[in-house]
Structure 1
Amino acid sequence: MSRLDEIAQDQRDEEEAASRRRVQRPRRASVGASLVGGFGELLITAGLLLGLFVVWQLWWTDVEGAREADQAVSQFTEGLEVEIPEVAGQERTEEPPAEPEPVDLSGETFAALWVPDWGTDYRWPVAEGVSRPDVLDAGMVGHYPDTAMPGQVGNFSVAGHRQTYGRPFYDIDTLAAGDSVIVQTHTAWYVYKVTDHRIVLPTEIDVIAPVPGEPGVEASEAMLTLTTCHPLWSTAERYIVHAQLDHWIPLEDGMPAELLEAS
């Protein structure tokens, strides 16, 4: 090999070595690429946190709400002073005894709500007040203060969640005229029959007036009103169900026939 050939070969060897070094040398990421990468990681983290929140909101609050509702119903049942015969009690239409007003104005369970069309295991505690932390988010149905007590002339009005926290009123839109909604107190069963339903704005509070929809008019009948959010996953409107007292039964006389038929 001539001297010129050796020089050319050396040059080629040096170029190949430099090329290998360039390939092996890690490239420094640009500032823009670093920012994009960091933002992507933040999005992934935010997505995971959002997913966990959805699981908590959709599932876990239902589990907690149902558990707290079961405990409240058990305490209510244990507090009954009479043993209820598992027979159909005689239906009464005369004026029922006066129900005592709850002493605790926030969260005291004083009744249980039964809806035979919603299944044999549907029995929900009714507590005084409509506070979210103390009542509604604790899995209970809340009684609007200053509305009538169960069975009394006026409008016994209650609120409940339609989604999350046990969702006691999830199936409210399935109630039809003539369906029974039953309220149990420490004294009696009060059997109401659904008369109608309405979809209203949250500002239309006259639905819980003594005479629904007619504020200022003196009541002459015993009514029941169920209220909840509408549509599902929204608080834009309220779904309202009205019912009228059909009859009542003292606890010691037995049970409403609807509950015996459902079981």
Structure 2
Amino acid sequence: MGDSAPVTRRSHRRRAPRRRVSIVGVLGELLITVGVVALLYVSWQMWVGDWIIGAEKHKQASALSQSWMTPSPAASEDASPSPSPDPSATAGPAPDAVVPVQAQPDHGTTFGVMFVPRFGSQWQFTIAAGTSRHDILDQGEIGHYADTGMPGAVGNTVYAAHRWTSGAPFDPIDRLVVGDAIVVQTSDGWYTYRFRTLEYVQDTQVDVLLDVPQKVGVQANGRYLTLTSCAPKLNMLERIIAYAVFDSFTPASSGPPASLSAPTQGATA
């Protein structure tokens, strides 16, 4: 009985002091929480969000592509009987002299679908007229510069798209290999271009949009295609540029061209 009081006092002295809540501590925990939320948001935008939007844009592009390959019932009924096939005629790319070129569409009009076999069999995105952010690029579409040529035209046909967010159409642009097919489909058929080279330029270097890229005052005597995007992905001050040259045109009536097949094995990026 006589030792109970001292033991009680010692136990009391050993209790940990109550933790004091300070403004600095609360602020630190809030900053950590904000940082975690921001990291999760960026992760969503860069991976999950892009994957979801990209998958949806692939479906839309595929549906448009298929619609151009499927004759309408009215067209089928009005079509006259087909003549007997000419044994000397061969299906495939049309001669250079008959490459059709569409007129420039109104801003925001979807007029094409782009395919790059190097990026995978599912990679396909719609192309719209114009390169404004809110209604074209941020919607996951590939934008066509209005002051450049249409697919198949003599000169330079130029396109832009995001490398991250909004489906990131041009994310894999730096994986292109010389000779890779870049195919643009319109209601007329497929225009196949072949990749040649990449370069990095400042955002002010607008001469990449010229009829002959970076050749001021030179008249075009060939057909070129140029892809533009940000490089690195979060840097708005530089651009990655991919150049390609025209290879062939395949009419819609001939079916998809061989250039849409997977890239040659062994030609890795």
* TM class by smaller structure: 0.7 to 0.9
- Secondary structure of the residue aligned to 1:94 is helix
**Equivalent of residue 100 in structure 1, options 100, 103, 107:** 103
Q: Is the 8 A contact 1:88 1:255 kept in 2?
A: no
Aligned equivalent of 2:54: 66
Q: CA deviation at 1:227?
A: 0.7
| Identity score, percent | 38
Unaligned runs of 5+ in 2: 72-89, 264-269
Q: CA deviation at 1:82?
A: 4.6
Structure-2 change in CA distance of 1:21 and 1:192 (3 Å): closer
User: Distance in 1 between the 2:43 and 2:196 partners?
Assistant: 37
User: Distance in 1 between the 2:164 and 2:16 partners?
Assistant: 58
User: Distance in 1 between the 2:229 and 2:16 partners?
Assistant: 66
- Aligned ranges for residues 2-151 of structure 1 at < 5 Å? 29=20, 34-77=22-65, 79-80=67-68, 82=70, 89-103=92-106, 105-106=107-108, 108-151=109-152
Q: Is the 8 A contact 1:224 1:243 kept in 2?
A: yes
Q: Is the 8 A contact 1:142 1:160 kept in 2?
A: yes
User: Distance in 2 between the 1:240 and 1:99 partners?
Assistant: 25
User: Distance in 2 between the 1:14 and 1:123 partners?
Assistant: 83
- Aligned ranges for residues 210-229 of structure 1 at < 5 Å? 210-229=211-230
Structure-2 change in CA distance of 1:24 and 1:199 (3 Å): closer
Q: CA deviation at 1:111?
A: 0.6
Q: TM-score, normalised by structure 2?
A: 0.78
User: Distance in 2 between the 1:181 and 1:43 partners?
Assistant: 46
Aligned equivalent of 2:209: 208
1:211-237 Cα deviation digits (max 9, x unpaired):
110234332221100111112443332
1:138-168 Cα deviation digits (max 9, x unpaired):
1111111111100011211001122232222
Structure 2 residue 248 is the aligned partner of structure 1 residue 247: yes
User: Distance in 2 between the 1:202 and 1:224 partners?
Assistant: 18
User: Distance in 1 between the 2:223 and 2:188 partners?
Assistant: 17
Q: CA deviation at 1:179?
A: 1.9
Q: Is the 8 A contact 2:154 2:220 kept in 1?
A: yes
Structure-2 change in CA distance of 1:212 and 1:144 (3 Å): same
Tell which deviates more after alignment, 200-209 or 171-180: 171-180
- Secondary structure of the residue aligned to 1:80 is helix
Structure-2 change in CA distance of 1:27 and 1:257 (3 Å): closer
Aligned equivalent of 1:256: 257
Q: CA deviation at 1:110?
A: 0.9
- Secondary structure of the residue aligned to 2:198 is strand
Q: Is the 8 A contact 2:225 2:246 kept in 1?
A: yes
Unaligned runs of 5+ in 1: 1-8
Q: TM-score, normalised by structure 1?
A: 0.80
User: Distance in 2 between the 1:114 and 1:74 partners?
Assistant: 10
Q: Is the 8 A contact 2:117 2:123 kept in 1?
A: yes
Structure-2 change in CA distance of 1:115 and 1:47 (3 Å): same
Aligned equivalent of 1:4: none
1:74-117 Cα deviation digits (max 9, x unpaired):
4423542655xxx97245322412213223x02x2211111122
